[in-house]
Amino acid sequence: MPKQTIIDAHALEKTFITGEVKTHALRGVTFKINKGEFVAIMGPSGSGKSTLMQLLGFLDRPTSGKYFFEGQDASVFEDDDLAQIRNKKIGFVFQTFNLLPRTTVFENVEVPLLYDSNRKSKKRNRHLIERALKQVNMMYRIDYSSNQLSGGERQRVAIARALVNEPKVIFADEPTGNLDSKSGVQVMKILQQLNKEGKTVILVTHETRTAKHARRIIRLVDGKITSDAKVNHQLDANGIEELK
């Protein structure tokens, strides 16, 4: 079967203007990601990784360049359409979890369902929430408040929330950044499992050992791609093969 492109970024630029200061966060970034890939985006602090994720996840728009998602030109969508596409097709996981405080695990995972334009029945919602919590092994805390959870548990709930609408793509921006190494490995295993089940996973990380869970590494420096390499798991820990 031919590989299907899900993400097609062409010459993306993003310039932030704050008062008199212009910051060129992205300076012409071009790449494609196929459905089912697991890609890590690496690069120094300030190189534009989060900015790129925001553009790809429709949280922001580029200053120039084109972005096609599933073959559709994102620039033609109104903000409301983008919000719906984001809610249905994209799951976000952040370094800081971003759960609602003093709110139960169940209610946190329910949030994307409440924003869905095609609301489902309460029973259907419960089924979807429980299924997502099972995928991250968090059913045993369904009625806990988010404040009562450990960091690793919070991140797993955040992943369940990202999954509940069955998105095609998961964007994870430093998902292990605030976790101890054991919880970090658990989170990476979940992302790997989701990828095996067919989801496209795009991960930002500065840790080489975390990036090695991916099959391809895109490096950004100063808003530009400096390398795009596939990870060869057959080789040893340093086995990163440059793509031509």
| Cβ burial 115-134 (10 Å sphere, 16+ → b, else e) | eeeeeeeeeebeebbbebbe
Closest C-alpha among 67, 64, 115 to residue 88: 115
12 is a site residue for ligand ATP (CB under 6 A): no
State the sign of the Cα–Cα–Cα–Cα dihedral 208, 211, 215, 216: negative
238 is a site residue for ligand ATP (CB under 6 A): no
End-to-end alpha-carbon separation of the chain, Å? 23
Residues of span 129-168 touching Mg ion by CB under 5 A: none
Residues 59, 171 contacting (CB under 8 angstroms)? no
* Nearest distance, CB of residue 41 and ligand ATP, angstroms: 9
Q: Which of 12, 25, 202, 211 binds ligand ATP (CB under 6 A)?
A: 25
Measured CA angle at 197 (ends 95, 167), to 5 deg: 55
* Nearest distance, CB of residue 46 and ligand ATP, angstroms: 4
Residue (43 or 175) nearer to ligand ATP, CB: 43
The residue assigned the tokens 């008199």 is: 20
Q: Which of 6, 7, 8, 49 binds ligand ATP (CB under 6 A)?
A: 49
108 is a site residue for Mg ion (CB under 5 A): no
**C-alpha pair distances (Å), 124 with each of 110, 128, 139, 148:** 11, 6, 17, 27
Instruction: With contacts defined by CB under 6 A, name the span among 42-50, 86-94, 178-186, 234-242 that binds ligand ATP.
Output: 42-50
Instruction: With contacts defined by CB under 5 A, name the span among 24-32, 50-58, 131-139, 230-238 that binds Mg ion.
Output: 50-58
Binding site for ligand ATP (CB under 6 A): 16, 18, 23, 25, 43, 45-51
Which residues would be at the binding site for Mg ion (CB under 5 A)? 50
